[in-house]
């Protein structure tokens, strides 16, 4: 049996707009998505802001009812059998809400244990185990108002694990964390997978999905536009070359010229201290380079490199092609 089975899931939000002349507006958050996740799999859901990831997770965690379509979690229908699903799943949604700041980590976990009907004898052993798992063993007695964001996020994970769920939904677990904090969370996620938990993860960090997930689905406008292993997705763009150039104060006009080169698919720019990193996608590899250099004539250019596509490059192309 698959841990999660999703068939033609769809969700429309109806909102009212306007103050005086009120009218309703329908937003198709999830259009039509189907996928399966096997037991023990770590599956990534990737997609731009507003693609429908959180809405999908809210339906699978029984917090939202689908407009149409069906889904099962460990064989239970998300609408009919919702009460059988809740005890076997855990979830965290990015953000800091949902913990009591005036209480210590241990007291928070005790409180949530009773809320989840975890037997006191069980939680007595489980709370220290979870604090150790998420690396908070030595800080468990402190009030969490003094916790860093990363520590709170790790406590959220511990909270979601109190009732030892088989399936975990992690919506942007590393959102807003510094690189060290994010790395610690990734380690915790790997440890959970080693414990054979089924995990559905969303993230905007492609290297994170690449490092953790066995398969990823890319969703855009509520539809799945690709579903494969990270390796498989990278293969889909193996014809693509990425040219990286260090530039200094490149004018907007030149960016426009670069984008209009016929063998250039996409141009992005990132600020790096005094300089900028220009990344240019081209299916014709270094062939485009001479035209690019012509555009950049007269500007200061630092290092130039042509590299293999990453998962992020594959993602950028998939999302762009399905706009």
Ligand X SMILES: Nc1ncnc2c1ncn2[C@@H]1O[C@H](COP(=O)(O)OP(=O)(O)OP(=O)(O)O)[C@@H](O)[C@H]1O
Question: Please, what is the minimum distance in Å from the beta carbon of residue 52 to ligand X?
Answer: 4
Phi, psi of 34 (to 5 degrees): -135, 135
Residue whose structure tokens are 């468990």 = 140
Residue 237 binding target from Mg ion, ligand X, none, CB below 5 to 8 Å by type? none
Q: Residue 75: CB partners within 8 Å, gap ≥ 6?
A: 1
- How far is residue 141's CA from residue 320's CA, in Å, rounded to a whole number? 48
End-to-end CA distance of the chain: 35
Question: Please, what is the minimum distance in Å from the beta carbon of residue 10 to ligand X?
Answer: 12
Contact 154, 138 (CB under 8 A): no
Nearer to ligand X, 24 or 262 (CB): 24
Residue 15 binding target from Mg ion, ligand X, none, CB below 5 to 8 Å by type? ligand X
Question: Please, what is the minimum distance in Å from the beta carbon of residue 54 to Mg ion?
Answer: 3
- Asked if 282 interacts with Mg ion (CB under 5 A), we say no
Question: Please, what is the minimum distance in Å from the beta carbon of residue 213 to ligand X?
Answer: 16
DSSP string, 150-176: HHHHHHHHHHHTTT--SEEEEESTTTT
- Asked if 54 interacts with Mg ion (CB under 5 A), we say yes
The helix-helix angle for 105-115 and 149-160 (nearest 10°) equals 30
Nearer to ligand X, 29 or 314 (CB): 29
Closest alpha carbon to 269 in 289, 249, 297: 249
Nearer to ligand X, 94 or 140 (CB): 94
DSSP state of 39: T
- How far is residue 200's CA from residue 189's CA, in Å, rounded to a whole number? 11
Nearer to Mg ion, 160 or 267 (CB): 160
Residue 174 binding target from Mg ion, ligand X, none, CB below 5 to 8 Å by type? none
Nearer to Mg ion, 89 or 242 (CB): 89
Nearer to ligand X, 50 or 75 (CB): 50
Question: Please, what is the minimum distance in Å from the beta carbon of residue 34 to ligand X?
Answer: 17
Nearer to ligand X, 210 or 265 (CB): 210
Q: Where on the chain is the footprint of ligand X (CB under 6 A)?
A: 13, 15, 27, 29, 47, 49-55
Instruction: Compute and round to an integer the Cα radius of gyration of the chain.
Output: 23
Question: Please, what is the minimum distance in Å from the beta carbon of residue 39 to Mg ion?
Answer: 25
Residue 27 binding target from Mg ion, ligand X, none, CB below 5 to 8 Å by type? ligand X
Phi, psi of 286 (to 5 degrees): -70, -10
Residue 271 binding target from Mg ion, ligand X, none, CB below 5 to 8 Å by type? none
Residue 72 binding target from Mg ion, ligand X, none, CB below 5 to 8 Å by type? none
- How far is residue 160's CA from residue 246's CA, in Å, rounded to a whole number? 44
Question: Please, what is the minimum distance in Å from the beta carbon of residue 176 to ligand X?
Answer: 13
Nearer to ligand X, 24 or 274 (CB): 24
- How far is residue 55's CA from residue 98's CA, in Å, rounded to a whole number? 19
Structure tokens at 13: 């939000």
Contact 152, 183 (CB under 8 A): no
Contact 153, 181 (CB under 8 A): yes
Of 108-147, binders to Mg ion (CB under 5 A) are: none
Question: Please, what is the minimum distance in Å from the beta carbon of residue 170 to ligand X?
Answer: 13
Please give the residue ranges that form the binding site for Mg ion (CB under 5 A): 53-54
């Amino acid at each position: 049996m698959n841990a999660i089975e999703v068939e033609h899931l769809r969700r429309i939000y109806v909102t009212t707009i306007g103050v005086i002349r009120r009218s309703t507006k329908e937003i198709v958050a999830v259009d039509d998505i189907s996928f399966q996740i096997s037991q023990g799999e770590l599956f990534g859901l990737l997609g731009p802001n507003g693609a429908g990831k959180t809405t999908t997770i809210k339906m699978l965690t029984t917090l939202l009812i689908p407009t149409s379509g069906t889904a099962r979690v460990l064989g239970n229908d998300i609408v009919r059998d919702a009460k059988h699903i809740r005890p076997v799943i855990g979830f965290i949604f990015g953000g800091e809400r949902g913990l009591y700041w005036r209480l210590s980590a241990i007291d928070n976990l005790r409180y949530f244990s009773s809320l989840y009907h975890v037997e006191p004898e069980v939680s007595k052993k489980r709370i220290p185990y979870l604090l150790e798992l998420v690396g908070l063993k030595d800080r468990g007695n402190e009030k969490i108002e003094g916790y860093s964001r990363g520590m709170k996020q790790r406590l959220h994970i511990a909270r979601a694990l109190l009732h030892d769920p088989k399936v975990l939904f992690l919506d942007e677990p590393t959102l807003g964390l510094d690189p060290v904090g994010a790395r610690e969370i990734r380690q915790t996620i790997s440890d959970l997978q080693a414990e054979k938990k089924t995990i559905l993860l969303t993230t905007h960090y492609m290297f994170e999905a690449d490092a953790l997930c066995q398969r990823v689905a890319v969703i855009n406008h509520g539809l799945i536009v690709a579903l494969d292993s990270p390796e498989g997705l990278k293969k889909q763009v193996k014809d693509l070359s990425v040219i990286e150039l260090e530039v200094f104060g490149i004018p907007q006009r030149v960016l426009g010229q670069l984008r209009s080169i016929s063998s250039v698919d996409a141009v992005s720019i990132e600020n790096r201290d005094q300089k900028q990193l220009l990344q240019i996608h081209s299916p014709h590899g270094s062939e485009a380079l001479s035209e690019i250099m012509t555009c950049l004539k007269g500007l200061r250019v630092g290092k130039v490199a042509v590299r293999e596509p990453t998962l992020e490059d594959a993602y950028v192309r998939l999302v762009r092609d399905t706009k």
